[in-house]
């Protein structure tokens, strides 16, 4: 299974740790600039990865929940049949933090609430992917 990971700048390190944990679990994961060779057209590489992806992981937090790029990614995933039941949202928030706004439709999809540990989030993502396979 090939997973496209979408995130905002503030969640880059957290998303990178999720990607590493997924790879260690045998899941092929694509993560923006870290998976693009120097000199390669980033947008073209991202588009190819998205076209190839079997699933998408959206990492959101209070700082990134309004990101236009995240919005584009989940809109694409929601309208693409191969992503049905394969869009997983990771809410990066501590239980003590005030909840933030995100699109209501994400609540109906696999959703990892209050994620603080990227490795544990990746383990839950793997479980979702196994159910969807």
Among residues of the chain, what percentage have pLDDT more than 90? 48
DSSP-assigned letters across all residues of 85-133: T-EEEEEE--TTSPP----GGGGGS-EEEEE--HHHHHHHHHHHHHHH-
Res 33 pLDDT > 70: no
Res 38 pLDDT > 80: no
Q: Cβ distance 33 to 42 under 8 Å? A: yes
DSSP-assigned letters across all residues of 26-78: T-EEEEGGGGS-TTS-HHHHHHHHHHH-SEEEEEE-TTTTT-HHHHHHHHHHH
Residue 58: pLDDT band by 50, 70, 90 thresholds? Answer: very high
C-alpha to C-alpha distance for 122 and 19, rounded to whole angstroms: 8
Q: What's this model's pTM, rounded to 2 decimal places?
A: 0.88
Res 19 pLDDT > 90: yes
Domain that holds residue 66: 2-132
The CATH code of the domain that includes 119 is 3.40.50.10140
C-alpha to C-alpha distance for 36 and 44, rounded to whole angstroms: 10
User: For 82, which DSSP code?
Assistant: G
Mean pLDDT score across all residues of the chain: 87
Specify the number of domains making up the chain. 1
User: By C-alpha distance, which of 34, 33, 7, 4 is closest to 90?
Assistant: 7
User: For 79, which DSSP code?
Assistant: T
Residue 6, SS3 per DSSP: strand
Q: 30 vs 70, which has greater pLDDT?
A: 30
Q: Cβ distance 111 to 121 under 8 Å? A: no
């Amino acid at each position: 299974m090939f997973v496209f990971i979408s995130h905002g700048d503030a969640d880059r390190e957290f998303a990178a740790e999720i990607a590493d944990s997924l790879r260690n679990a045998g899941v092929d994961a694509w993560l923006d600039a870290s998976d693009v060779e120097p000199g390669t057209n980033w947008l073209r590489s991202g588009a190819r990865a998205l076209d190839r992806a079997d699933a998408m992981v959206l990492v959101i937090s209070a700082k990134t929940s309004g990101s236009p790029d995240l919005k584009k990614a989940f809109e694409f995933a929601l309208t693409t049949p191969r992503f049905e039941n394969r869009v997983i949202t990771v809410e990066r928030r501590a239980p003590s933090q005030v909840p933030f706004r995100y699109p209501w439709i994400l609540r109906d999809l696999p959703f990892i609430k209050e994620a603080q540990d990227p490795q544990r989030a990746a383990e839950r993502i793997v479980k979702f992917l196994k159910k969807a396979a």
